[in-house]
Protein backbone atom coordinates (compact mmCIF):
# COMPACT_ATOMS: atom_id res chain seq x y z
CA UNK A 1 0.00 0.00 0.00
CA UNK A 2 1.20 3.51 -0.81
CA UNK A 3 0.16 6.51 1.25
CA UNK A 4 0.34 9.91 -0.39
CA UNK A 5 0.22 13.13 1.58
CA UNK A 6 0.15 16.53 -0.06
CA UNK A 7 0.75 19.86 1.63
CA UNK A 8 0.87 23.24 -0.05
CA UNK A 9 3.95 25.29 0.66
CA UNK A 10 1.74 28.36 0.32
CA UNK A 11 -0.20 27.38 3.44
CA UNK A 12 2.88 27.76 5.66
CA UNK A 13 4.60 30.94 6.74
CA UNK A 14 8.24 31.21 7.74
CA UNK A 15 7.27 32.06 11.32
CA UNK A 16 4.74 29.23 11.66
CA UNK A 17 4.67 27.45 15.02
CA UNK A 18 4.68 24.17 13.06
CA UNK A 19 8.45 24.52 12.65
CA UNK A 20 9.00 24.17 16.40
CA UNK A 21 9.01 20.37 16.07
CA UNK A 22 12.19 20.66 14.00
CA UNK A 23 15.44 20.52 15.96
CA UNK A 24 17.72 23.55 15.96
CA UNK A 25 20.17 21.93 13.54
CA UNK A 26 17.44 21.53 10.89
CA UNK A 27 16.11 25.07 11.42
CA UNK A 28 19.68 26.41 11.18
CA UNK A 29 20.23 24.47 7.96
CA UNK A 30 17.00 25.88 6.54
CA UNK A 31 18.11 29.41 7.42
CA UNK A 32 21.24 28.96 5.27
CA UNK A 33 19.25 28.71 2.02
CA UNK A 34 19.48 31.86 -0.09
CA UNK A 35 15.87 31.78 -1.26
CA UNK A 36 12.94 31.81 1.17
CA UNK A 37 11.06 29.26 -0.98
CA UNK A 38 13.97 26.82 -0.72
CA UNK A 39 14.05 27.25 3.06
CA UNK A 40 10.30 26.62 3.29
CA UNK A 41 10.55 23.54 1.04
CA UNK A 42 13.31 22.07 3.20
CA UNK A 43 11.38 22.69 6.43
CA UNK A 44 8.13 21.40 4.97
CA UNK A 45 9.86 18.22 3.76
CA UNK A 46 11.38 17.61 7.19
CA UNK A 47 8.05 18.35 8.85
CA UNK A 48 6.24 15.86 6.60
CA UNK A 49 8.83 13.15 7.30
CA UNK A 50 8.57 13.72 11.04
CA UNK A 51 4.77 13.68 10.97
CA UNK A 52 4.73 10.43 8.97
CA UNK A 53 7.29 8.75 11.23
CA UNK A 54 5.32 9.99 14.22
CA UNK A 55 2.29 8.07 12.94
CA UNK A 56 4.31 4.93 12.17
CA UNK A 57 6.29 4.86 15.42
CA UNK A 58 3.71 6.29 17.81
CA UNK A 59 6.09 9.00 19.04
CA UNK A 60 5.77 12.78 19.08
CA UNK A 61 7.46 14.31 16.00
CA UNK A 62 9.96 16.27 18.09
CA UNK A 63 11.22 13.01 19.67
CA UNK A 64 12.18 11.46 16.33
CA UNK A 65 15.88 11.62 15.53
CA UNK A 66 16.81 11.86 11.86
CA UNK A 67 20.54 11.50 11.27
CA UNK A 68 22.45 12.04 8.03
CA UNK A 69 25.07 9.46 7.08
CA UNK A 70 28.40 10.21 5.36
CA UNK A 71 26.69 9.96 1.94
CA UNK A 72 24.04 12.54 2.90
CA UNK A 73 21.28 9.93 3.22
CA UNK A 74 18.81 10.38 6.09
CA UNK A 75 18.45 7.63 8.65
CA UNK A 76 16.02 7.18 11.53
CA UNK A 77 17.98 5.59 14.35
CA UNK A 78 14.83 4.69 16.31
CA UNK A 79 13.77 1.89 14.01
CA UNK A 80 16.31 -0.10 11.97
CA UNK A 81 13.91 -1.20 9.24
CA UNK A 82 13.00 2.33 8.11
CA UNK A 83 14.60 3.36 4.85
CA UNK A 84 14.38 6.65 2.99
10-residue mean pLDDT profile of the chain (84 residues): values are: 70 71 89 91 88 87 85 77 65
Q: How many CB atoms lie within 10 A of CB 60?
A: 10
H/E stretch holding 10 reads none
Cβ atoms 73, 84 nearer than 8 A? yes
- Integer Cα distance of 13 and 8 in angstroms: 11
pLDDT of residue 19: 79
pLDDT at 34: 95
Amino acid sequence: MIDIEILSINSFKDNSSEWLVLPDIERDRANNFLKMQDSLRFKLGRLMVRMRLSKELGLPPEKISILINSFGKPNCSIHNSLNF
